[in-house]
Every structure is written in C-alpha cells, then in structure tokens.
Amino acid sequence: MGLIAAALVSLAGDPGPARAAKPVQLTYAGYMAGLPVFTLSTTVTLPAGAVPGNGAYSISANGATAGNFKLLYPYAANIAASGALKNQKAAPNQFSSVSHVMGRQEAVTLTYGAGGKVGIDARPLTRQAQEASAQGFANGTMDPASAIVAMVANFAKTHQCNGTYKLFDGVRRYDLTLAQAGFVDLNPLQQSYYDGSATECRAEPQLINGFSNAAQQSQFYPQSARLWLAPAVTGLPAIPVRIEAQNALGLMVLDLVDVQF
C-alpha cells in the first residue's frame, strides 16, 4: 500500500492567508482483471485554497483487500499522518501505521524531530526498525502519506509532478521519483467518480532498505506506477483520480469512486 499510495492523494490562483479547511473523504476501489480486490478510504485536511497555503495538514486512511482476493491475501491497514505545509513543501510531525497481514499485527509510530531526525517506535520491534534506528537511514525522510500531500500541493502551484521524495514507512526505506508524462482523457470504469482530462505522472521507486530478497526477486513490489491528477472536486487542488501499478500478481488499478465532505 505504501508504494502505491505513495502512493497513494492544475489549479492556479493566489492561496492568500492560511485558512482552516473542512476535511474531505476520498474513497478508492482497487481492481485486478476487472475484479474488485482492494478498498481504500482516506480523509484529508489541507490548508484552504486551490493552491494550498501555509498551514497544518492531516491525512488518515483505511485500506483492506476485498472480494475473493481477501481469502488469498488477508490484509488491512490504518495510517495517520500530520504535519505542516510551507511553500508547498511538507514537514511531517508524526506518522502512525497499524497493519494486519495474514493474521499478524504490526504497529509503528514515526516522530519527526529537529534536523530531520526520525524517532521509531515499532511494536513488535522488528528487525527493520532496529536497523533503521541503528544505521539512521530513516533520518531526512518523510512518510508516504505526507509525500502525497506534498505532491498535490506542489502540482497545484507548478502544474508539474516532477521530483524525488525520500520515504520511510516504518519498515521500508525507498526513494520515489515522479516524472510528468502528458495529458489523457480518462475513460470511466465501473464506479468512477471522475472521467475526463487528467495529467499523467510516472512514479518509479528505488528500493533501498527493509525489503526482503525473496520479495524483490519475485517482483512483489511494483517497479513503476502511473497516476493521473485532475481537478475532480470543486474547491480542492488536483488530486489523484486513478493509479495503476504492476507487480508479480498483475496490474492493479485504484480508481476514485466517491467524495464526501
């Protein structure tokens, strides 16, 4: 989920002074071969404005496998992130994640301090968390949810999705490089909330630490992904309306299907 969401959340104007914004809930449906396999619901609060100004942000998300795929790979995760935007750059404050995979629970809280230092509290204490703390490779990173906020804010200002983000999700350390690929007219899927013009961005992860050799060799983690940004909701900056990622299991499509204020 981290690689995609990160993966996973073109308007101009003066952002003006930071104002409180109401949270918005975005719901995505995930498909493989046209069958529902994943659900994701995320609630986002950004500084108000088509171009988010300086101020606090928060994002929470709940994701789980669905349908028959849930029987094959039972997975559910809850994440929450908070921080502040300044000049379209995200400074995370805290990130927490609780995941249930094949009946096993793992929880981690990341706390961001001065000088880019990242505190790690993992329960149970995993080998990856111990190595990250000992070697310091989580320092100077941000969490995947904050990276999405930063990408949306930067795109709203520059109309470009280029950039590289240094990410750590409590287990895995990777870089995510974004590059703009052009414009497309999206065709609606089964329940699409949005269809129409969108900006296509390419995302390529560079796996650095915390990935098992078996998972890498089997190409379990996506080697690349595509996401489409569009001004789908009045009063919001352009947001991800569709994401595609390919791994050893096949092509997963994550499509925006509902918006609630």
Distances (CA, A) of 67 to 34, 37, 88: 12, 6, 38
Q: Find how far residue 152's CA is from the centre of its chain.
A: 11
pLDDT for res 133? 94
Determine the Cα–Cα distance for residues 207 and 52; give it in Å rounded to an integer.
30
Instruction: Judge contact between 172 and 2, C-beta under 8 A.
Output: yes
Query: What gap in Å lies between CA 171 and CA 66, rounded to an integer?
Result: 24
Predicted confidence at residue 16, as pLDDT, reads: 33
**What pLDDT is attached to residue 215?**
64
Question: Can you give the pLDDT at residue 25?
Answer: 96
| DSSP code for 7 | B
Category of 103 on φ-ψ map: left (φ > 0), alpha (ψ -120 to 50) or beta:
left
Which residues lie closer than 8 Å to 71 by C-beta, 6 or more apart? Answer: none
Q: Please indicate, yes or no, whether the overall pTM of this predicted structure exceeds 0.85.
A: yes
pLDDT of residue 222: 81
Instruction: Report pLDDT digits (tens) over 45-70.
Output: 999 877 888 999 999 999 999 999 99
Round to whole Å and give the CA distance between 98 and 92: 18
Q: What is the pLDDT along the chain (261 residues), one digit of tens a residue?
A: 344 444 443 222 233 333 446 799 999 999 999 999 999 999 999 998 778 889 999 999 999 999 999 999 899 999 999 999 998 899 999 999 999 998 899 999 999 999 999 999 999 998 999 999 999 999 999 999 999 999 999 999 999 999 999 999 999 999 999 999 999 999 999 999 999 999 999 999 999 998 877 766 666 678 889 999 999 988 889 999 999 998 877 899 999 999 998
Q: What pLDDT score was predicted for residue 205? A: 93
- Residues 24, 230: Cα–Cα separation, whole Å: 16
What is residue 12's predicted lDDT score, i.e. its pLDDT?
28
What pLDDT score does 218 carry? Answer: 63
Give strand pairing partners of 30: 38, 254
Cβ atoms 245, 252 nearer than 8 A: yes
